[in-house]
Amino acid sequence: MKLMIINGPNLNLLGVREPGIYGSSSMESCLRQLRETYGDRVDIEYYQSNHEGDIIDTLHRAGMSGEYAGIVLNAGAYTHTSLAIADAISAIRTPVVEVHISNVHAREAIRHTSLISPVCRGVIAGFGLDSYRLGVEALIHG
């Protein structure tokens, strides 16, 4: 089975960006661990962009290809603002799990609203980089 992990804006800085909130591990080490754990069963592809349109294009490409059993999406701050990303998720049939490293509900009020939650299969937030593993588990188990 093939899964895609998509990270949105500023998540290329994981490990150095606000370590008190997002931890000090990089996405590369998270991906290495995920591939070590699931590599024999799951092909995990990764894409990161700071640009809304590129994230939408990638959702379309992955979703329309029929190649992926699911998508783990951390849309970063676009979670709270992007109706366009919500529409892209609605447009594809591939299930999308929304993930957040931090517990967005324990943070500023603006982060309590997600425009994408209603069109995602489910939401995982607050478990640090382990949120991605939980997202992968959710898609494996279905």
Q: Which of 13, 64, 77, 84 binds ligand DQA (CB under 6 A)?
A: 77
Least distance between ligand DQA and beta carbon 59 (Å): 16
Interactions with ligand DQA, residue window 120-139 (CB under 6 A): none
Query: Can residue 48 be called a binding residue for ligand DQA (CB under 6 A)?
Result: no
Cα 14 to Cα 8: distance, rounded to the nearest angstrom? 11
Q: Which of 94, 102, 120, 135 binds ligand DQA (CB under 6 A)?
A: 102
Q: Which of 104, 123, 124, 129 binds ligand DQA (CB under 6 A)?
A: 104
Contact 27, 48 (CB under 8 A): yes
Considering only the stretches 44-52, 55-63, 75-83, 89-97, report the one whose residues sit in contact with ligand DQA under the rule CB under 6 A.
75-83
100 catalytic, yes or no?
yes
Which amino acid appears at position 93 of this protein? Answer: R
Q: Pick from 88, 69, 77: which is nearest to 135 by CA?
A: 69
Catalytic residue among 22, 68, 78, 132: 22
